[in-house]
Homo-oligomer: A and B are copies of this chain.
């Protein structure tokens, strides 16, 4: 596998230089024309959807979504709160007969207020900029204003995310050697070598290539669930130390030509980030330069258990974002079928 070679060693004192170099190596700007809004979803062709559908053998489904409610992990950073769900009408009102409808009908109805990235979500291509540049070389202010993303809003990809999914359970493959079976420790940077080792360990159904929707399980959510069950809450799950992809995977993400990649963590990439002073440097390459769709806060545990059971790491995956017009990210309930 040549795709992991030729990545320079990371200089922790120079994120800006490393980002610029990676961006140059990995740029897909112009690859699909000046008007492109799909980025790597261009790799997800109709053939890939047929391939994905053919992976359905038992008809077993897995929702890869965490729930959307007030008990989620968000802590208010940059006003990212947990969803607030309230009722417009209730069963108690209906039962008491105060709703004023005829012939005994009663109803319940509800509303929600939430950040679009409060729980399981896709980052859209308008979510991250590099020095004011957005995907495909557009200026950030020409793309996303207070009115939303007028160019690459998530609605432009509403019908795209369906195809072959593949799960790399890195936590399971190498967690034990770093401390806990099935889980990577916080701060652990997953390198291309770790990804390739996981593929090798999982076998042929775990191959990763053009047009795939890749799921990477670190096991951090499993750990957070233990904490919740023990009554000690989410802790720093949202934004604190976490396992995740190393900055050095940028070239691998580019070379594999995957259509999208999702993890079971808040931030996709390892945290603390690998530079001395940095904030999500891999995002800065992956979204505006590669045009790659990133999924965060996915729940991969049940699917991973099933894959470990039957040894099949590929599946049909439909992960259709809620088409909020102009959104730079969107909630999603991804459905894997095996």
Contact = CB atoms under 8 A, between A and B. Distances in A.
A79 B337 contact: no
A76 B82 contact: yes
A330 to B, nearest CB: 9
A275 B104 CA distance: 14
A141 B96 contact: yes
Nearest to A116: B110
Given A65-B323, A111-B113, A145-B98, A128 B140 contact: no
Given A76-B82, A144-B87, A19 B104 contact: yes
State the number of copies, please. 4
A3 interface: no
A135 to B, nearest CB: 11
Contact of A109 (B93, B141, B160, B328): B328
Interface string A310-322: 0000001010111
A278 interface: yes
Interface residues of A, number: 117
A80 interface: yes
Contact of A91 (B57, B105, B134): B134
A8 interface: no
A24 to B, nearest CB: 14
A195 interface: no
Given A91-B126, A113-B111, A321-B333, A54 B53 contact: yes
A81 B81 contact: yes
B68 A159 contact: no
A22 to B, nearest CB: 12
Interface of A: 15-16, 19, 45-50, 52-54, 56-63, 65-71, 76, 78-98, 101-117, 126-132, 134, 139-149, 155, 158-162, 275, 277-281, 283-284, 316, 318, 320-329, 331-335, 337
